[in-house]
Amino acid sequence: MTKCPVCNNEMVEIGLTVDGSGLVMRSCSECDTRTWHRDGEEVDLDGVLHDISSVPTRYKRSLSD
């Protein structure tokens, strides 16, 4: 489990697939810190939001517990 870099709480991972590219959002329920990763590399939130907004209906999401 990934720890939050801010408060050290456990982060929840949410996987998204955007145009065949795997994205992972890690979200902290304590302080609401979020990090985004694509193909194992951290990405800028702005870039991710741009990608998602360009394909609003074609991504699948799944929760991983």
Residues binding Zn ion (CB under 5 A)? 4, 6-7, 9, 28, 30-31, 33
CB atoms within 10 A of CB 4: 19
Nearer to Zn ion, 35 or 59 (CB): 35
| 54 backbone dihedrals φ, ψ, rounded to 5° | -80, -15
Give whichever of 33 and 35 is closer to Zn ion, judged by the CB atom: 33
- In the complex, minimum distance from the CB of residue 11 to Zn ion, in angstroms, rounded to a whole number: 7
Name the DSSP class of 45: H
Judged by CB, which is closer to Zn ion: 11, or 23? 11
Determine contact, residues 24/13, Cβ cutoff 8 Å.
Answer: yes
